[in-house]
């Protein structure tokens, strides 16, 4: 691509990088003489209507936006199989590169970057656009500190259906929201969640959730709470931590209503305005300090004499009442002594072992020992329904009569509904089944109809009942079963012809083309191929070639003389040359008279052959060297 001129206007200067969908180049707008960025859809996706549509949707969605914190789109075009978008060129780096280099960012810098991201997203949201892939890689930081949000490659118009396609989960696993992980409806609050994750990473130097697989990370977004960022970075104030965790709340109703609200809270932090919920606390607000004691309010006058007399006055107890009280206390003491004595003298019983026996039998055994029974039923996949799982107190414990023994009795395995995930993409299916309470196992099969990577069969079937925690087996499509094709011989032909011959054989020409000097083949012709002709490959597999840079074989000119048969008839003469260029007609077909002598100079390359035909019959002839 370097040096190409797209749209007769944009000269490709150098490559800047690339993502899963496109390659990004630095270019020069020759019409306006300014630097631009050109994003070119990868060639392997140009035949995929879905990718082309998504790529064009980025331009259509963002071109209507005009905000200092969003990369501007200038143009969109197509040239042959090349689909491209022309956008504003940003002098700076993406946020991920800055985090990798610095680790934790200074608090003020991180807060200001997050505030600018929110400002840009708020403008996009107000225009009906949800980014759906907010991550540090898509945040460009200019040399002057200005932040630009870019790569609306999977943005989706809010006015259209916003449920994540059942066949795919779009986004970056470390940054997407719980609702994206579940494949549910996404909106502006999904972007807010992602901004919270980005701010978390800027301040701590790490993402909130890590895992060995993308699925493990996605499930943590759904089920796990992040470590409060203040524990990882003491410089994070309580109010800043509150902003991050509010943005990352798993319940969408508990997040910020919009990106503008989050931007305002962040701006108040930057400006030191501590109004409302985001009040900035002084560092020493919770430090130990001397506090004044309670204030005692007293009157200036002496207490009223009558009040003092009433306080000092004591009631007198009559002798009869005193006697009655003493008698009553004595009676109660006697009763208490008798009750305590009876209790202390209750016979002790050894609790029998009733675990792993039917509940009715356990109840009879315990009651036969003058013990009370309390039963609690729970699901248990290991213990048969109606059998005792555990007992409290345990077996062989000495207790008093009438002690309550609590039995935990199995209700058997819990059966729940298996979600139907047939025709869903593997990742989305795994998340849905795991979230429903099942384990997942995979196998793969070829399928001529199902898209590669989607579920074609599940056991147990969807919408049936199965034991909670059991394994749901998913069969994943590997696409149509490949059929082997034979590699054609493409040596000695031009690059164009080689590509056409490979396409005819349902193979592709590898982009890894090398060149070398050759005296056997003309410049631009195939010298060698890998694999060799006759080898079996799968449809669509690439074939590598080596092209000649010349000088190729030398030309050779000879005189061909032919005498027509002397039979009185008219005959047709044709001369055919075969050499490194291929087979071509050097003369004829033309009618000549009986006995006529024909002479012709014929040019061909070394190692070529010349064939002469009279009336479709090849005849011998003599090549005469030209002096």
- pLDDT tens digits, residue range 334-387? 665 555 545 456 678 899 999 999 999 999 999 999 999 999 988 888 899 899
pLDDT value of residue 321: 57
- What are the helix and strand counts (H, E) for the chain? 14, 34
> In this structure, are 388 and 400 located in the same domain?
yes
Q: Which domain holds residue 59?
A: 5-88
Q: Are 119 and 67 in contact (CB under 8 A)?
A: yes
Are residue 170 and residue 266 in the same domain, yes or no?
Answer: yes
Query: How much is the pLDDT for 528?
Result: 93
Question: In this predicted structure, what is the pLDDT of residue 121?
Answer: 95
Q: How far apart are CA 279 and CA 239, in angstroms?
A: 7
Q: What is the pLDDT of residues 169-225, one digit of tens each?
A: 445 789 989 998 887 778 899 999 999 999 999 999 999 999 888 888 988 999 899
Query: Which contiguous run of DSSP H or E holds residue 528?
Result: strand 526-530
343 found inside a domain: no
Same domain assignment for residues 456 and 495: no
Specify the pLDDT at position 332: 67
pLDDT at 490 over 50: yes
Q: Give the model confidence (pLDDT) of 242-267 as tens digits.
A: 999 999 999 999 999 999 999 999 99
Q: Is residue 326 part of a domain?
A: no
CATH number of the domain within which 356 lies: 3.30.10.20
- CA geometry: angle at 136 spanning 133 and 142, to 5°? 120
Report the alpha-carbon distance of residue 59 to residue 158 in Å, rounded: 16
Same-domain check for residues 231 and 106: yes
Residues 369 and 504 reside in one and the same domain: no
CATH of the domain at 562: 2.60.40
Q: pLDDT at position 335, please?
A: 61
Let me know if 133 is a catalytic residue: yes
Q: What pLDDT is stored for residue 35 in this prediction? A: 94
Q: What is the mean pLDDT of the chain?
A: 83
Residue 305 domain-assigned (yes or no): no
- Residues 577, 541 share a domain: no
Query: Is the distance from CB of 463 to CB of 417 less than 8 angstroms?
Result: yes
Cis peptide before 350 (omega within 30 of 0): no
Active-site option among 29, 112, 123, 133: 133
Would the pLDDT of 299 be above 80? Answer: no
Residue 113 half-sphere exposure, CB side, CA atoms within 13 Å? 31
Query: At a CB cut-off of 8 Å and minimum separation 6, what does 577 contact?
Result: 583, 584, 585, 586, 602, 604, 608, 609, 610, 611
Residue where a domain terminates, one of 66, 88, 110: 88
- In angstroms, the CA 92 to CA 140 distance is 7
Residue 42, domain member (yes or no) = yes
Boundary (domain end) residue, out of 247, 278, 309: 278
Identify whether residues 465 and 596 lie together within a single domain: no
Q: Per the domain annotation, does 617 fall within a domain? A: yes
Instruction: Please tell me the predicted confidence (pLDDT) of residue 334.
Output: 61
* C-alpha–C-alpha distance, residues 93 and 101, integer Å: 11
Q: Which residues of 544-562 are buried (b: 16+ CB within 10 A; e: fewer)?
A: ebbbbeeebbeebebebeb
Average pLDDT over residues 404-424: 91
- Asked which of 370, 387, 410 is the last residue of a domain, the reply is 410
Residue 284 located in a structural domain: no
Does 243 lie in the same domain as 140? yes
Q: 66: domain CATH number?
A: 3.30.200.20
For residue 526, what pLDDT band results from cuts at 50, 70 and 90?
very high
Q: Which residue has the higher pLDDT, 381 or 281?
A: 381
Same domain, 161 and 267: yes
- 442 and 493 in one domain? no
Q: What strand order describes the sheet that includes 609-614?
A: 582-592, 571-579, 609-614, 617-619
Q: What confidence category does residue 297 fall into, taking pLDDT thresholds of 50, 70 and 90?
A: very low
81 inside domain: yes
For 101-142, write each residue's pLDDT tens digit. Answer: 998 999 999 999 999 999 999 999 998 888 888 999 999 999
Confidence tier at 308 by pLDDT (50, 70, 90): very low
Query: Which residues contact residue 583 at a Cβ distance below 8 angstroms, ignoring those fewer than 6 apart?
Result: 576, 577
Are 383 and 427 contained in the same domain? no
Neighbours of 58 (CB within 10 A): 22
State the average pLDDT over residues 90-102: 91
- Position 522 confidence tier, pLDDT thresholds 50, 70, 90: confident
Query: In total, how many domains does the chain have?
Result: 6
| 358 shares a domain with 209 | no
- What digits encode the pLDDT tens for the residues 25-64? 999 999 999 999 999 888 777 777 777 776 777 677 778 8
For the full predicted model, state whether its pTM sits above 0.75.
no
Model confidence at 627: pLDDT above 70: no
* In a domain? residue 295: no
């Amino acid at each position: 691509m370097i040096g190409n001129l797209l749209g007769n206007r944009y000269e490709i200067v150098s490559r800047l990088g690339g993502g899963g969908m496109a390659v990004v180049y630095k270019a020069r707008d020759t019409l306006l003489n300014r630097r631009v960025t050109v994003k070119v859809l990868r060639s392997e996706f140009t035949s995929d209507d879905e990718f082309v549509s998504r790529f064009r949707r980025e331009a259509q969605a963002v071109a209507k936006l005009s905000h200092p914190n969003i990369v501007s789109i200038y143009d969109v075009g197509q040239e042959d199989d090349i689909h491209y978008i022309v956008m504003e060129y940003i002098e700076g780096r993406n946020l991920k590169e800055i985090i990798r280099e610095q680790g934790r960012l200074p608090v003020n810098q991180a807060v200001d970057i997050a505030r600018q991201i929110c400002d840009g997203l708020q403008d996009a949201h107000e225009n009906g656009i949800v980014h759906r892939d907010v991550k540090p890689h898509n945040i460009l930081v200019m040399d002057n500190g200005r932040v630009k949000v870019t790569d609306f490659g999977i943005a989706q118009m809010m006015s259209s259906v916003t449920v994540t396609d059942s066949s795919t989960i779009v986004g970056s696993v470390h940054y997407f929201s719980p609702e994206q992980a579940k494949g549910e409806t996404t909106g502006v609050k999904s972007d807010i969640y992602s901004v919270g994750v980005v701010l978390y990473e800027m301040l701590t130097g790490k993402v909130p959730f890590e895992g060995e697989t993308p699925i493990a990370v996605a499930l943590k977004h759904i089920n796990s709470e992040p470590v409060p960022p203040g524990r990882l970075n003491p410089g994070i104030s309580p109010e800043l931590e509150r902003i991050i965790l509010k943005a990352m709340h798993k319940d969408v109703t508990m997040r910020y209503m919009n990106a503008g609200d989050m931007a305002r809270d962040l701006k108040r932090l930057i400006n030191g305005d501590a109004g409302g919920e985001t009040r900035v606390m002084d560092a020493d607000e919770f430090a130990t300090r001397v506090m004044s004691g309670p204030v005692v309010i007293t009157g200036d006058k002496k207490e009223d004499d009558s009040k003092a007399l009433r306080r000092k006055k004591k009631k007198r107890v009559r002798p009869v009442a005193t006697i009655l009280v003493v008698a009553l206390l004595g009676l109660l003491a006697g009763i208490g002594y008798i009750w305590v004595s009876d209790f202390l003298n209750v016979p002790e019983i050894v609790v029998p072992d009733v675990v792993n026996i039917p509940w009715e039998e356990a109840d009879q055994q315990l009651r036969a020992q003058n013990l009370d029974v309390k039963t609690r039923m729970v699901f248990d996949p290991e213990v048969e329904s109606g059998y005792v799982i555990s007992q409290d107190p345990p077996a062989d414990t000495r207790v008093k009569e009438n002690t309550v023994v609590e039995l935990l009795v199995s209700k058997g395995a819990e059966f729940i509904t298996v979600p139907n995930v047939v025709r869903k993409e593997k990742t989305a299916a795994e998340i849905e089944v795991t979230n429903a309470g099942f384990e997942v196992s995979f196998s793969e099969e070829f399928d001529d109809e199902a898209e590669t990577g989607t579920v074609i069969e599940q056991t147990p079937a969807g919408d049936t009942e199965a034991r909670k925690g059991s394994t749901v087996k998913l069969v994943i499509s590997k696409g149509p079963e490949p059929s082997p094709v034979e590699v054609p011989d493409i040596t000695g032909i031009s690059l164009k012809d080689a590509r056409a011959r490979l396409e005819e054989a349902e193979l592709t020409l590898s982009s890894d083309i090398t060149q070398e000097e050759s005296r056997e083949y003309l410049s631009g012709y195939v010298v060698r191929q890998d694999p060799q002709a006759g080898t079996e490959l799968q449809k669509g597999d690439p074939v590598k070639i080596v092209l000649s840079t010349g000088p190729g074989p030398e030309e050779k000119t000879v005189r061909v003389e032919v005498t027509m048969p002397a039979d009185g008839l008219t005959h047709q003469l044709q001369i055919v040359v075969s050499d490194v260029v291929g087979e071509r007609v050097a003369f004829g077909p033309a009618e000549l008279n009986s006995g006529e002598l024909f002479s012709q100079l014929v040019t061909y390359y070394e190692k070529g052959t010349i064939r002469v035909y009279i009336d479709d019959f090849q005849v011998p002839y003599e090549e005469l060297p030209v002096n």
